[in-house]
Amino acid sequence: MATTHDVQARDDVQYEEYPALPYAGVGLRIVAAFLDLIFLASVFLLFFAAAGLYLLTQTDWGNESDITNAEQWTAVAIVASFAFVIPLYFTLFWWWRGQSMGQMAVRIVVTDRDGYHIGPGRAFLRMLLWPLSILPLGIGLIPIIFDQESRALHDMITGTVVLELP
């Protein structure tokens, strides 16, 4: 049975043909997370701009100062709907490519421990558990330093690893 160290994350090839891929360290993973944060902040600004545009069109491009409660709540709902983008972003990208946009930039990929792409359920579970590694002062990231496969807490629970691509 092949292990992640012996394979490359692709579905349509014979894995044994490829050289071993190294596990991604904490530095690359943090850089990828910051790049994802920048991308998601940009998308959030689009939602914020859409809410502002909605309010401008409802007030005759700012000429009226009377904004109703319903209009205010609609604008808030537009901005709040961004909360659905975050889980969709990570789940779909990890399922589709094994990489978020930040991970693509630093050339790392999320796979199962055998080096295969993860399915939608595992991608969703990994997205749900990722805050457990980050929120309590990043304590869940400490295992990356000591684990042979450089896995964080959410990787250990979901059975995933992060590999560096050549």
What's residue 10's pLDDT? 53
Q: Is the pTM of this model over 0.75?
A: yes
Query: Residue 86: which of 151, 133, 36, 45 has the closest Cα?
Result: 36
CB 122 within 8 A of CB 159: yes
Predicted local confidence at residue 1, as pLDDT: 45
Tell me what pLDDT residue 140 has: 87
What is the rounded average pLDDT for all residues in the chain? Answer: 87
